[in-house]
Amino acid sequence: MVAILKHMDWYGMPESMEEAVARFRRTPKPSPASVVRIIEAWAECPHWHSSTYDTLVEWRTEDKKLWRSSSHLYDRMTNRRQDWYRNEALRVVAGASSIIFENFDMSQTARVEDENGEKTEIPMAARHNRVIAAPSVLREAIKLQADKRQIPIKTHRGKSTNKCSMCGSDMDSDNNRGQLHLTCKSCRTTMDQDKNACLTMLKSVAAE
Ligand SMILES: [Zn+2]
C-alpha cells in the first residue's frame, strides 16, 4: 500500500486530503497509521481516483480481519495456559505443608542487556521459554491456591541454583550455561539444577 501511495500522483487531490498526504510524504518510512489517515480523509471524496481508493479500502478491511483473528488466537492461547496453570497449581499445593518460592526477579530473565549495556548470558532457550510460559503467571496461580488452603508461603532469598545443596560450595554453572545437570566444585555432587535448588531452599527454610 505504501508503494502505491508513494508513486501516486497527488495533483488535484481534494483539499480535505492535503494534510494527511503531506504528513505521509514527509516521512521516509510511513507507518500503517499514516496510510489509514489518508484512507479516512479520502473517504470524504471517494470518487477521486476511485479505483485506487477502492484498493486501499479493500486492503484495510483485510488487514483488520487479520488483526482480529490473530488477537483472537492469542486470547485462546492465553486462556488455555491459564487453565493449565490453574491445574498445575492445584497439583503443586495438594498435600504440601508449605510452599517455598525463590525470591528472584523474573523480569531479569527477560533482559537482553544488563545495566552496563553488556549482553546478558541467559541462554536463548531460557529466554524463549520465558516468553511462552510467563512464569510469573504460574507463580501467582500457585500463590492463589496456597492462600485458599491457608498453606504458608515462604520465600528463599539466597541464590539456590549456583550453590551446592550438599555442602554449600559453588556449582560449576559458570562454564555450564544451559546445562540441566551441575556438579559441585568441592564435593563433586552432580545433580539436576532444579532439584539442587529445591533442596537448598528446603534446607534454608527448615533452618529458619
Ligand atoms: Zn558440594
The CB-based long-range contact list for 158-161 (8 Å cut-off, 24+ gap) reads 158/200, 158/204, 160/102, 160/196, 160/197, 160/198, 160/200, 160/201, 161/193, 161/196, 161/197
What pLDDT does 162 receive? 83
Give the pLDDT score at 128: 60
Taking the centre of ligand 1 as the mean of its atom positions, its distance from the CA of residue 206, in whole angstroms, is: 19
Q: How many CB atoms lie within 10 A of CB 145?
A: 20
pLDDT of residue 187: 96
- How far from each other are the two terminal CA atoms of the chain, in whole angstroms? 65
Query: How much is the pLDDT for 70?
Result: 87
The Å distance, Cα 107 to ligand 1 centre, comes to 29
Which stretches of the chain drop beneath a pLDDT of 50? Answer: none
**Which pLDDT value is given to residue 104?**
62
Residues 6 or more apart whose Cβ sits within 8 Å of residue 140: none
Q: Output the pLDDT for position 149.
A: 95
ipTM for the assembly: 0.97
Q: How far is the CA of 183 from the centre of ligand 1 (A)?
A: 8
**Longest Cα separation, the chain:** 83
What confidence score (pLDDT) does residue 38 get?
A: 94
CB 40 within 8 A of CB 20: yes
pLDDT of residue 103: 72
Q: So what's the pLDDT on residue 53? A: 95
Distance CA 169, CA 186 (A): 6
Distance CA 155, CA 146 (A): 14
H or E segment to which residue 143 belongs: helix 135-148
Q: How far is the CA of 163 from the centre of ligand 1 (A)?
A: 8
- Ligand 1 centroid from CA 162, angstroms: 10
